[in-house]
């Protein structure tokens, strides 16, 4: 930690000018990849265990090439990890992790109501995502990316989040409506 | 977690925007190998945050982190500042400290800008800092940035030889209750409480209170110096983050204390401040911030002087990324002081009551000559003050990133130390005939500084070297009014000077559980009278600093929930005052049986029964070895 602080200045020099968005989304891409490993989905049939694990992006893709690079050639056990991009909610079929882009911010309540009780881990960096019923929200804490997890939403959808992931996250309860 | 890997990653991340696909793959692979703990600590640049520290990166910056402070066992801001090897820090007595950078130290050292959460705390009385009333809850400090060398362009007046920037944590990072208590031989007793929580979804707050009592120091003849000190302070911070990315902060502190004096009544010190800040990102490439504060101090030193000072200050800053290669910051500021001095038979400030204004404007452009590699920062500050009118303080800085691990930087800056009340308005004794009078024509002291530095990160080792040469013109002098009569004397600008030296700092993570950091500074300050000056002090009154100092800090995590930390310092002699060189050691042993509880024993100045750090033989106080115990409970 001390190192990090001491060299923030140096890092800033290096980070100047080139699109800063990129580095943020590279780290977020790696988080999505991690989520696949630290989350369990209910398995309906034995055949499920050979199917690909799907990470979906709904809306405009902020990751550029980074998510593709991150999951390229990756497997979890026997299951390959696949990436799919969706323009709208109706296109979503089989999906394990769904990243909802900020471009869909206005539609988040509608999207979540469609997904309600489906075992899809919903992730976004939109403001108030967990308050709206989303499961994992990326939160910028100064220059670091923190996780905010709505555990009740995940439990309601039968998605089991590992304690290792919970330990590094802030657990929140959405306000009752 | 190991701290080196994320750091390595920052460098990788930085380079990763470059077109080479191989590098992209490398950085992806490195990130994928991080644990979740490490991943949440990787620093990234978000769209709402500009890379604001470029200008500082091309400067001699050292950062004291919360861990450094906690592990050192420091109990006050000056004690924490001892951890910065580019500062000269000397304790005078129970409450007074002399702190400066690049020489020019003294009880009224006047070339340093000190900020606490954006609030300037040096006094317009003498451009120095009353360290006895600059306190924070150390557990709430996020970091202290210490820049040696001129920081005048961005930071403002008085940043002639350095800037100390104390930054406390956001309220959302200090949730819960923190109780601390303890006592010992020098720090007799202390206690503090802090509680932080959320107010709805968008607001967070914290409140705190603290009090302490410090023992007397000792006169060279072994008698009691009668300077025991008691202080209480409280404060709050409230933050509001609206969904539309308005960020509001309101914070304030109040304090009250008493210090014993041997021959007169107790010194009474009290005051408070209130700061309001608003920050708003306009777009990904532009943001604006406004800050306003009010600061009040009261000081009554029976037999010497009293003061009531009110400061009103408002600053505005706007940053914008202009075209691809220009990062522009500009701002405006206004400052008003209202100062009432209660004069005594010993000395007088005339007029006793003044209101003074400062208007400042600054602009700075960070230019990416070669993105990721070569950057040039050009800027200037223009200030208008009631004493000398307009002052211009330009600087140029260049940083060259040689490779992912190494940066070379250079800077040329002009800075001024504008007059303060003491230079123009001090008279002694309090009634005519005066022995000493303020200089009616005293003008700003000017500095031209050249700096060259190098920073490198290799694995677990981080290294930084800063070298400097500064020339000073018109330094404060004491001139005979009717030479050769030694008195009366008047304050003038009759001296010039130069300083040069090198500041080396390093951090090394020996193992996961053992970290060492340290620094060595070697420097020289020469001051001489200009033709026509009758000052023969050769700078004795303006710069009292050792030629060298070494600081080493070791932080070791032991089994059985124990931590063992030590800070060693070796400080050269202060020749002007015949203060001998000394070395001393602080050590801390902490036992953390559960995550919420810390039990510590700290020894300060362990190597000597008592030692002296500053002052002429007649005026000095000796600092005794101190031991204290502390219990801290967080829940």
Q: How many Cβ pairs closer than 8 A exist between chain A and B? A: 184
By CA distance, what is A125's nearest residue in B? Answer: B46
Q: Do A23 and B44 touch (CB under 8 A)?
A: yes
Residue whose C-alpha is closest to residue B162's, from B523, B489, B427: B523
CA dist list (Å): A175 to A110, A133, B609: 18, 9, 60
Q: Are B100 and B93 in contact (CB under 8 A)?
A: no
Of A3, A20, A26, the CB nearest to B462: A3
Q: Give the closest-approach CA distance of A51 to chain B in angstroms.
A: 23
Q: Do A10 and B52 touch (CB under 8 A)?
A: no
Query: How far is Cα B548 from Cα B502, in angstroms, rounded to an integer?
Result: 10
Q: Which residue has the tokens 């409280």?
A: B234
Q: Do A14 and B62 touch (CB under 8 A)?
A: no
- Looking at residue A47, what is its pLDDT? 64
Segment of B38-52, B240-254, B441-455 carrying the highest mean pLDDT:
B441-455
For residue A72, the tally of other CB atoms under 10 A from its CB is 12
Q: Give the closest-approach CA distance of B22 to chain A in angstroms.
A: 11
Query: Helix A8-15 crosses helix B4-16 at what angle (to 10 degrees)?
Result: 10
Query: How far is Cα B168 from Cα B145, in angstroms, rounded to an integer?
Result: 11
Give the residue extent of every domain in chain A.
21-172
By CA distance, what is A66's nearest residue in B? Answer: B28
Residue whose C-alpha is closest to residue B82's, from B552, B556, B590: B552
**B405 to chain A: which residues are within 8 Å by CB?**
none
Q: Are B239 and B171 in contact (CB under 8 A)?
A: yes
CA dist list (Å): B73 to A9, B178, B600: 26, 17, 9
Q: Residues 6 or more apart from B228 whose CB is under 8 A from it?
A: B94, B213, B214, B215, B216, B259, B260
Residue whose C-alpha is closest to residue A134's, from A163, A169, A98: A98
Q: What is the pLDDT of residues B572-596, one digit of tens each?
A: 999 888 999 999 999 999 999 988 8
CATH code for the domain defined by A21-172:
3.40.50.2300
B267 three-state secondary structure? strand
CB crowding A92-108: b at 16 or more within 10 Å, else e: beebbbbbbbeebbeeb
**B3 to chain A: which residues are within 8 Å by CB?**
1-4
Instruction: Kindly state the DSSP code that residue B228 receives in the 8-state scheme.
Output: -
Res B310 pLDDT > 80: yes
**A164 to chain B: which residues are within 8 Å by CB?**
36
CA dist list (Å): B177 to B197, B238, B252, B282: 9, 16, 19, 36
Q: What is the pLDDT of residues A17-39, one digit of tens each?
A: 222 333 678 889 999 999 998 99
- Looking at residue B244, what is its pLDDT? 61
Q: What is the pLDDT of residues B227-266, one digit of tens each?
A: 999 999 999 999 998 756 788 999 999 999 999 988 889 9
Q: Give the closest-approach CA distance of B464 to chain A in angstroms.
A: 10
Res B553 pLDDT > 50: yes
- Looking at residue B243, what is its pLDDT? 59
Query: How far is Cα B602 from Cα B560, in angstroms, rounded to an integer?
Result: 18
One-character DSSP codes across A45-106: SGGGGGSPEEEEEESS-TTTTHHHHHHTT-EETTEEEEEEEESSGGG--S-SEEEE-GGGGG
Residue whose C-alpha is closest to residue A99's, from A54, A144, A37: A54
Range with lowest mean pLDDT among B94-103, B282-291, B461-470, B587-596? B282-291
User: Which element (helix H / strand E) includes B37?
Assistant: helix B36-39
- Looking at residue B340, what is its pLDDT? 96
User: Which element (helix H / strand E) includes A153?
Assistant: helix A151-156
Give the mean pLDDT of B155-163: 81
B594 three-state secondary structure? coil
- Looking at residue B83, what is its pLDDT? 97
For the four alpha carbons of B16, B19, B20 and B25, in that order, the dihedral sign comes to: positive
Query: How far is Cα B40 from Cα B395, in angstroms, rounded to an integer?
Result: 37
Per the structure block, which two tokens stand in for B134?
């600059």
**B62 to chain A: which residues are within 8 Å by CB?**
6
Q: Do A14 and B4 touch (CB under 8 A)?
A: no
Q: Residues 6 or more apart from A60 whose CB is under 8 A from it?
A: A101, A103
Q: Do B407 and A10 touch (CB under 8 A)?
A: yes
Residue whose C-alpha is closest to residue B105's, from B583, B488, B625, B572: B572
Give the mean pLDDT of B389-402: 91
CA dist list (Å): A133 to A100, A177, B275: 13, 11, 36
Distance spanning both ends of chain B, measured CA to CA: 23
Res A51 pLDDT > 90: no
CA dist list (Å): B441 to B32, B350, B398, B430, B635: 65, 15, 37, 21, 58
pLDDT bin (cut points 50, 70, 90) of residue B361 is very high
Res B15 pLDDT > 50: no
Q: Do B41 and A144 touch (CB under 8 A)?
A: yes
Query: How far is Cα A64 from Cα B515, in angstroms, rounded to an integer?
Result: 38
Q: Give the closest-approach CA distance of A87 to chain B in angstroms.
A: 24
Query: How far is Cα B378 from Cα B414, in angstroms, rounded to an integer?
Result: 12
- Looking at residue B246, what is its pLDDT? 84
- Looking at residue B403, what is its pLDDT? 77
- Phi first, then psi, for residue B492 (nearest 5°) are -135, -170
CA dist list (Å): B183 to B69, B224, B590, B633: 18, 20, 15, 15
Q: What is the pLDDT of residues B465-482, one digit of tens each?
A: 999 999 999 999 999 999
- Looking at residue B4, what is its pLDDT? 40
Of A24, A65, A131, the CB nearest to B44: A24
Res B440 pLDDT > 90: yes
Query: How far is Cα A145 from Cα B184, in angstroms, rounded to an integer?
Result: 42
**B372 to chain A: which residues are within 8 Å by CB?**
14, 16-18
Whether complex ipTM tops 0.85:
no
Residues B593, B596, B597, B602, Cα dihedral to 10°: 110
Q: Which residue has the tokens 């290669």?
A: B325
* Chain B contact probe: residue of A1, A2, A32 with most B CBs at under 10 A: A2
Alpha helices in B52-137 (DSSP H): 54-57, 66-72, 77-81
Q: Are A62 and B52 in contact (CB under 8 A)?
A: no
CA dist list (Å): B147 to B55, B199, B469, B471, B558: 11, 36, 15, 18, 33
Res B18 pLDDT > 70: no
**A145 to chain B: which residues are within 8 Å by CB?**
39-40, 42, 44
- Looking at residue A2, what is its pLDDT? 39
Alpha helices in B316-431 (DSSP H): 421-425
pTM of the model: 0.75
pLDDT bin (cut points 50, 70, 90) of residue B211 is very high
Which residue(s) pair with B238 in the sheet? B205, B250
Percent of chain B with pLDDT over 70: 92
Res B527 pLDDT > 70: yes
Res B156 pLDDT > 90: no
Q: Give the closest-approach CA distance of A45 to chain B in angstroms.
A: 30
pLDDT bin (cut points 50, 70, 90) of residue B44 is low
Q: Are A85 and A108 in contact (CB under 8 A)?
A: no
Per the structure block, which two tokens stand in for B628?
């204290």
Of A5, A131, A145, the CB nearest to B44: A145
Q: Give the closest-approach CA distance of A85 to chain B in angstroms.
A: 20
Residue whose C-alpha is closest to residue B35's, from A65, A95, A162, A21: A162
Give the mean pLDDT of B423-449: 93
- Looking at residue A73, what is its pLDDT? 86
- Looking at residue B22, what is its pLDDT? 35
Query: How far is Cα A61 from Cα A127, in angstroms, rounded to an integer?
Result: 17
- Looking at residue B344, what is its pLDDT? 87
């Amino acid at each position: 930690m001390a190192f990090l602080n001491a060299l923030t200045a140096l890092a800033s020099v290096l980070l100047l000018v080139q699109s800063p968005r990129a580095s943020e989304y590279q780290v977020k891409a790696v988080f999505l990849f991690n989520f696949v490993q630290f989350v369990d989905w209910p398995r309906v049939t034995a055949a499920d265990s050979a199917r690909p694990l799907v990470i979906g992006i709904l809306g405009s893709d902020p990751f550029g090439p980074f998510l593709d690079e991150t999951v390229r050639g990756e497997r979890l056990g026997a299951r390959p990890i696949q990436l799919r991009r969706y323009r709208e909610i109706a296109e979503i079929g089989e999906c394990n992790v769904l990243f909802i882009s900020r471009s869909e911010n206005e539609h988040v309540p509608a999207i979540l109501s469609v997904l309600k009780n489906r075992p899809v881990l919903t992730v976004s960096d939109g403001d108030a995502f967990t308050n709206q019923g989303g499961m994992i929200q990326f939160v910028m804490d100064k220059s670091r990316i923190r996780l905010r997890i709505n555990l009740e939403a995940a439990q309601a959808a039968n998605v089991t989040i590992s304690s290792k992931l919970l330990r590094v996250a802030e657990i929140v309860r959405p306000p009752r409506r | 977690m190991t701290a080196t890997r994320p750091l390595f990653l920052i460098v990788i991340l930085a380079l990763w925007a470059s077109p080479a696909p191989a590098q992209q793959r490398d950085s992806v692979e490195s990130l994928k190998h991080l644990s979740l703990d490490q991943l949440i600590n990787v620093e990234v640049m978000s769209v709402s945050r500009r890379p604001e520290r470029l200008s500082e990166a091309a400067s001699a910056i050292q950062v004291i982190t919360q861990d450094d402070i906690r592990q050192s066992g420091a109990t006050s801001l000056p004690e924490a500042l001892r951890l910065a090897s580019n500062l000269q820090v000397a304790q005078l007595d129970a409450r007074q400290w002399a702190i400066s950078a690049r020489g020019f130290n003294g009880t009224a050292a006047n070339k340093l800008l000190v900020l606490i959460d954006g609030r300037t705390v040096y006094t317009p009385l003498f451009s120095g800092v009353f360290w006895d009333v600059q306190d924070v809850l150390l557990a709430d400090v996020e970091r202290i940035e210490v820049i040696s060398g001129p920081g005048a362009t961005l930071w403002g007046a008085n940043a002639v030889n350095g800037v100390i920037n104390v930054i406390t944590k956001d309220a959302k990072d200090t949730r819960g209750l923190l109780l601390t208590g303890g006592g010992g031989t020098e720090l007799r007793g202390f206690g503090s409480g802090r509680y932080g929580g959320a107010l709805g979804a968008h607001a967070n707050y914290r409140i705190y209170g603290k009090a302490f009592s410090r023992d007397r120091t000792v006169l060279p003849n072994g008698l009691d110096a009668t300077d025991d000190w008691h202080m209480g302070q409280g404060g709050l911070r409230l933050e509001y983050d609206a969904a539309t990315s308005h960020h509001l902060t309101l914070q304030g502190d109040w304090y009250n204390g008493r210090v014993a004096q041997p021959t007169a009544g107790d010194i009474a010190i009290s005051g408070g401040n209130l700061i309001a800040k608003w920050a708003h990102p306009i777009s990904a490439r532009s943001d604006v911030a406004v800050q306003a504060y009010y600061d009040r101090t009261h000081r009554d030193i029976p037999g010497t002087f009293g003061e009531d000072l009110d400061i009103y200050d408002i600053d505005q800053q706007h940053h914008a990324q202009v075209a691809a290669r220009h990062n522009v910051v500009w701002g405006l500021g206004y400052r008003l002081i209202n100062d009432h001095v209660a004069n005594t038979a010993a000395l007088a400030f005339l007029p006793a009551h003044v209101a003074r204004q400062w208007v400042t404007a600054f602009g700075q452009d960070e230019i990416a000559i070669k993105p990721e590699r070569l950057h040039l920062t050009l800027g200037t500050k223009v200030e208008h003050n009631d004493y000398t009118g307009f002052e211009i303080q330009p600087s140029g800085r260049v940083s060259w990133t040689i490779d992912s691990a190494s940066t070379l930087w250079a800077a040329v800056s002009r800075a001024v130390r504008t007059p303060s009340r003491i230079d123009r308005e001090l008279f002694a004794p309090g009634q005519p005939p005066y022995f000493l009078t303020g200089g009616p024509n005293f003008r700003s002291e000017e500095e031209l500084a050249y700096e060259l530095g190098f920073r490198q990160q290799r694995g677990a080792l981080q290294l930084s070297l800063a070298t400097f040469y500064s020339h000073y013109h018109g330094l404060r002098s004491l001139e005979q009014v009717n030479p050769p009569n030694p008195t009366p004397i008047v304050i003038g600008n009759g001296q010039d000077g130069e300083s040069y030296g090198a500041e080396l700092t390093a951090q090394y993570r020996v193992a996961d559980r053992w970290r060492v950091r340290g620094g060595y500074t070697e420097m020289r300050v020469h001051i001489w009278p200009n033709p026509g000056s009758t000052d023969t002090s050769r700078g004795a009154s303006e710069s009292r600093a050792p030629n060298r100092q070494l600081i080493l800090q070791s932080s070791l995590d032991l089994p059985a929930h124990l931590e063992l930390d030590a800070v060693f310092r070796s400080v050269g002699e202060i020749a002007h005052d015949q203060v001998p060189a000394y070395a001393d050691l602080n050590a801390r042993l902490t036992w953390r049986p559960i995550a919420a509880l810390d039990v510590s024993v700290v020894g300060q100045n362990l190597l000597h029964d008592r030692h002296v750090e500053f002052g002429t033989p007649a005026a000095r106080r000796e600092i005794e070895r101190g031991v204290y115990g502390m219990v801290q409970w967080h829940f």
